Each structure stands twice: as C-alpha cells, then as structure tokens.
C-alpha cells in the first residue's frame, strides 16, 4: 500500500447551480437548506462526500472488485426469497470486522474516516479530510414550481397527482476543507488518494446529472499544499462577488467577477510556508485580480 501523505493541505471548492436544488432538507419538504438571516443556501459536507463517493464507485472502479471498495454505500443481502439493505454491522462483517482490511480496501474510510460497528463494540476512525458546511457566496432565494405527475394517486381517479418542487434560481456555493496529515498517518490516506479526492470533487460534481442536480458545474478548485502543519483557514469567507446586478439577479458566471484579492494577500504573506498551490477553474470565471498559472499551479513568484 502507498505511503501515507505527510503534508497538510487546504481546499477551496466552488461550484454553481442553476434552477435546481443543491441539498434538500428531508424534514422540510425537501426544500433547499437555507439561512434566512443572510439569504444564503447551505449544503452539508455529507452531500459533497456523497458526490465524491458516487464518482469513485461509478467511474474509478471502487465497486468491491479487485480489492477496491466504498464502505459507506448501499449493499443488499438475501434472506430466503426476500432482499434487504445491509446495516453497518453486516457491512463490517463483509470485511471480517478488520480495521486493517477496511483501510486497505476502502478509499472513503482512508480519506473521510468513519465508524466501523462491531458485534459488541465499534472502531472510530478520524478522517484526514474534513469539510465545513458549504454556503453560497451570493444571496439567493427559494422558488416554488408546481406541476402534474404522470399518474393518478390511485385506481379509478380522474386526475393525475400534483407535484411541488423547490429550487434556487442561481447560487455560487463554496466549501472549505482541510486534509490533516497527522490523521492520515492513522488512516493511511496517500498522495494517490488525495489525487482521487480532487478528481472526485471536480468531476464528481460535473457528473451529477440527476433531475434535481442537473445544472451544477464546478467553477474553482484551489488546493494549498503546505510545508508543515500550518494553514490559513476560512478561504471561502475571504471571497467577494463584484457585480453590477443585485445578488438575486445573478444568473451565471458572466454576471460577476470573483474578488480573490484577500486570498492572494494571505498566500503572499505566508509564501514561505507554502509548498505549492494547485488551481483548476472554469475558463468563463472572471477573477479579480487575474492570476498566473503554470502547469496547473499558481505562480507564487507572481503574486
């Protein structure tokens, strides 16, 4: 197995969503999670991790074959002529309740950590990669759409059912994340796992083509790789939108410029503690100030 990573990294990820529901709340009629105080939409870290897990499972071969798997995913088992969804304990039994086997096999536990439930106990593994709740950079609102379904609610009904959907017209959503190299020594998260994490963040978001998520698009992924245990923190909170439109009137990347000057200032002030800054962004995104990127990395000498 590859050697555990030894450097701390900090992540800033932005994606846009148009006329869709970024993260419905099942306890509130699946409305988008929303902060009424500042009119911003909220996305849980669990939603982002699920996006990444689904990408690994569907596109990178972590499907239980060839010694590669996702621990936190739905599996089923048969009992007689019926099929049931496995619980956590049954899932742990599939790995012989072995901490080492789970870590060797399951990339999501190496990266995010998790709880391995045993018959009479449990093993808690703290994940190196942690995300804050995501939040929109712009103010937005929830819109309601109503329509009719294709079927009636029951037999001998004269009318099809009605459906109600809740969406946001547009939101630029940002996540802060940190990869803790100390925890990686215990979970065995490697540099290869980190590469797949970054790929899952970007390409996983782009491949969310379900009805409620179609309209999501990755916009900016910035990964600051440090030389030691230092990190800047709160990168998302340092961003600002520059637009001639009111926030509620923004409908796309062409409607604003993203002010990254406060982040550039921090990167410059802490240049001696930074090994590299990986950058990936949508070419339509207008950054202020413009930045110089060489081979996918920020030119630290140019800031």
What's the pLDDT tens digit per position in 69-124? 999 999 999 888 899 898 989 999 999 999 999 999 999 999 999 999 988 889 89
Query: How many structural domains is the chain composed of?
Result: 1
Q: Whole domain around residue 241: which residue ranges?
A: 9-61+126-302
- Does this model's pTM top 0.75? yes
Residue 141 falls within a domain, yes or no? yes
Residue 106 falls within a domain, yes or no? no
Task: Tell me the pLDDT tens digit for each residue of 258-292.
Answer: 999 999 999 999 999 999 999 999 999 999 999 99
Residue 146 falls within a domain, yes or no? yes
Q: Which are the contacts of 270, defined by CB distance < 8 A and separation ≥ 6? A: 230, 232
Residue 101 falls within a domain, yes or no? no
Q: Which of 18-32, 108-122, 155-169 has the lowest mean pLDDT?
A: 155-169
């Amino acid at each position: 197995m590859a050697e555990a990573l030894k450097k701390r990294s900090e992540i800033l990820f932005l994606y846009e969503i148009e006329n869709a529901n970024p993260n419905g709340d099942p306890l509130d009629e699946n409305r988008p999670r929303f902060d009424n105080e500042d009119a911003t939409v909220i996305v849980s870290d669990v939603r982002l991790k699920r996006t990444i897990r689904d990408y690994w499972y569907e596109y990178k071969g972590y499907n239980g074959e060839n010694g590669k798997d996702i621990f936190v995913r739905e599996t089923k088992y048969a009992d007689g002529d019926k099929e049931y969804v496995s619980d956590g304990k049954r899932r742990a039994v599939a790995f012989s309740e072995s901490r080492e086997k789970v870590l060797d096999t399951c990339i999501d536990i190496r990266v995010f950590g998790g709880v391995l439930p045993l018959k009479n106990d449990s093993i808690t593994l703290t994940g190196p990669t942690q995300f804050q709740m995501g939040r929109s950079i712009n103010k937005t609102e929830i819109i309601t759409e109503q329509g009719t379904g294709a079927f009636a609610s029951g037999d001998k009904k004269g009318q099809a059912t009605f459906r109600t959907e809740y969406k946001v017209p547009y939101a630029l959503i940002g996540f802060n994340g940190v990869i803790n190299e100390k925890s990686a020594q215990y979970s065995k998260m490697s540099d290869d796992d980190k590469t797949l994490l970054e790929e899952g963040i970007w390409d996983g978001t782009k491949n969310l083509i379900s009805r409620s998520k179609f309209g999501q698009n990755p916009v900016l992924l910035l990964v600051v790789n440090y030389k030691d245990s230092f990190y800047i923190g709160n990168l998302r909170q340092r961003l600002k939108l520059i637009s001639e439109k009111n926030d509620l009137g923004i409908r796309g990347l062409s409607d604003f410029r993203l002010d990254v000057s406060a982040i550039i200032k921090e990167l410059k002030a802490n240049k001696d503690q930074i090994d590299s800054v990986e950058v990936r962004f949508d070419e339509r995104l207008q950054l202020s100030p413009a930045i110089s990127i060489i081979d996918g990395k920020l030119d630290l000498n140019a800031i």
